[in-house]
């Protein structure tokens, strides 16, 4: 739970709240009740985060959007994540100070 909270930059309590609000978000729990998030769960949380925090959807609006456009939104999130990764890579290249040899 802590790692997921750090990845998304949100509190653990917000993740637990989203888990209770979004039926499709069901992480596995061990015998102690600790949550074990899968890659699919993380993708679902990123989608919820994108809709609620970045686009300003209400919870009801996010639920509706997820239901209607789940596949389209997943692809969009994947593209945005890849673009952020590429941007970071390019910034690293421009700040590395390496000059081409003549």
* pTM for the whole structure: 0.65
pLDDT in tens, the chain (102 residues): 889 999 999 999 999 999 999 988 888 888 888 889 999 999 999 999 999 999 999 999 999 988 887 778 788 888 999 999 999 999 988 876 555 544
Domain edges within the chain: 2-94
Rounded CA separation 96/42 (Å): 32
pLDDT given at position 102: 47
Counting beta carbons within 10 angstroms of the beta carbon of residue 48, is it exposed (0 to 12), middle (13 to 18) or buried (19 or more)? Answer: buried
pLDDT given at position 45: 94
Rounded CA separation 51/86 (Å): 22
pLDDT given at position 98: 57
pLDDT given at position 69: 78
CATH of domain 2-94: 1.10.1660.10
């Amino acid at each position: 739970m802590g790692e997921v909270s750090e990845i998304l930059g949100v509190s653990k309590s917000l993740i637990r709240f989203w888990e209770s609000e979004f039926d499709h978000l069901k992480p596995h729990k061990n015998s102690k009740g600790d949550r074990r998030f899968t890659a699919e769960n993380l993708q679902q949380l990123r989608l919820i985060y994108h809709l609620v925090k970045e686009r300003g959807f209400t919870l009801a609006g996010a639920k509706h959007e997820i239901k209607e456009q789940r596949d389209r939104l997943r692809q969009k999130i994947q593209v945005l994540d890849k673009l952020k990764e590429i941007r970071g890579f390019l910034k690293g290249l421009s700040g590395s100070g390496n000059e081409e040899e003549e």
